[in-house]
Amino acid sequence: MTDHPFDQAMTLSVVGEPSEGRFEGLPSAYYWNMVGPYGGITAATVVKALMQHPQRLGEPIALTVNYAAALTLKPFTLTARPARTNRSTQHWTMEMTQLDDQGQPCVVLTATAVTAARRSTWRQIDHPMPQVPPPDQVEVALRAKGVAWLDRYEMRAIDGGLPAVWDGSGEHSRSLLWMRDTPARALDFLSLTSFADLFIPRVWVRRATRVPVGTVSMTVYFHAGPAELLAAGTDHLLGQAQAQAFHDGFFDQHGQIWSRDGHLLVTTHQIVYYKE
């Protein structure tokens, strides 16, 4: 635990017996978005609960978080249950609730995860990192004013950044950017999870039109262990994201995050609600 805003945002208190997997926390104002906290930080909180659970086996392999409602700036309860533990893999079910105005617990997030004790095997990266200029040759993106979480990340867009003009002139949905915590912070499974949600909405890039959006479900696959996290350290990561289909209110996004030395750390997908 450090005084980095990210670590503060990851603070969870154990409620009851640790083996019950019941935690309490408070969404971090440091990572506030327009309505509710930045989704990446909420997803990272789910992984934090896993990492803190006394029955956890191995490291994160897969995570799916479903954003059921915007969190409010009030305490939440997060439960993590190992639904099945095999010899080398473990299946998790998670749920986050907040009290509504009547004091009733309401589900704001559901999630599942798989953790596993990895074994060394044949390795191959079949999606190599694109050739791009190094971070110091790419300008830091301008930030929207008054959106707290944007101050927590350094983003240097090589392609598909926030449109300079909203004139409906978009031609493709790909974004490619260098990303890093502000201030810099050594990479772990928590921050890697949060980086997976860092891309601006594909529909904004594709249409150069700002329509209301909200991520409904995000999946993160981890292709890294402690050695790859350590090697990535506090350096920039390269992220790429692209949409494949926009259909009647929902579009998909698939993305990749590489360490600067070209290891594909994460592949990620989400489906996002959009209006109009």
Question: Where on the chain is the footprint of its own copies (CB under 8 A)?
Answer: 61-62, 64, 66, 68-69, 83-84, 86, 89, 91, 93, 95, 106-108, 110-112, 114, 116, 118-127, 172-173, 206-207, 216-217, 219, 221, 223-225, 242-250, 252, 254, 256, 264, 267, 269, 271, 273-276
Residue number, 44 or 96, with CB nearest to its own copies: 96
- Answer left, alpha or beta for residue 81, where phi above 0 means left and psi between -120 and 50 means alpha: beta
Task: Kindly report the backbone phi and psi dihedral angles of residue 159, in degrees, each rounded to the nearest multiple of 5, phi listed first.
Answer: -155, 150
Q: Three-class SS of residue 52?
A: helix
Residue number, 72 or 267, with CB nearest to its own copies: 267
Residue number, 22 or 152, with CB nearest to its own copies: 22
**CA pair distance 161, 142, nearest whole angstrom:** 10
Task: Kindly report the backbone phi and psi dihedral angles of residue 203, in degrees, each rounded to the nearest multiple of 5, phi listed first.
Answer: -65, -30
Residue number, 57 or 148, with CB nearest to its own copies: 57
**CA pair distance 22, 115, nearest whole angstrom:** 18
**CA pair distance 141, 155, nearest whole angstrom:** 6
CB of 143 to its own copies, least distance (A): 27
CB of 122 to its own copies, least distance (A): 6
Burial status of residue 143 (CB atoms within 10 A of its CB: 0-12, 13-18, 19 or more): middle
CB of 211 to its own copies, least distance (A): 8
CB of 41 to its own copies, least distance (A): 20
Residue number, 30 or 221, with CB nearest to its own copies: 221
Decide: 83 and 48 in contact? Cβ < 8 Å.
Answer: no
CB of 206 to its own copies, least distance (A): 7
